[in-house]
Each structure stands twice: as structure tokens, then as C-alpha cells.
Amino acid sequence: MEIRIGIVQSMKELDVELPTETDREQIVRDVEAALAGEGVLWLTDRRGRRVGVPVARIAYVEVGPAHGERVVGFGAV
């Protein structure tokens, strides 16, 4: 699963590829909890690296579909 984080006053986005077994709803809850407070949002990517983003600098968070949920083609439902 991929998460894209927009950073305030930065034209670049931060893309983090999470392990395939990551629970999408748990990630959404973790992001919401971090944004409700102060500090740093910590994520662990699929290679085991930890990525920290200061909550005050987050402009937006885009959570991609869970692994295997991508639909490709016209009229795909």
C-alpha cells in the first residue's frame, strides 16, 4: 500500500510504500490521531525504514488502495 503526504511549502510529495499486509483502516486511524495532536507521524516502509513527518508540516495525506484492490481498464467495477 502506498501513502502520499503533501508537505506545507514544498512542491514535492513524500511517497511511502508500506508492507502489503498493512491494515489500511489502521493507517487512517493512526494518521487521524497524529493530526489531532502535535509531534511526528511515524511510518515504517516495506524495507523496515522509519519515516517521520512533523505533523505541523502536513498539508494532506493520500492513502492508496490496499494491495490487490487496484482496478485497471474501462468499465471496471
Could you read off the pLDDT of 28-65 as tens digits, one per residue?
999 999 999 889 999 999 999 999 999 999 999 999 87
Average per-residue pLDDT for the chain: 87
- pTM of this structure: 0.78
- Which grid coordinates are listed for 21? 499486509
> What is the average per-residue pLDDT within 15-36?
91
Domain 2-63: assigned CATH number? 2.30.30
Residue 3: other Cβ atoms inside 10 A: 22
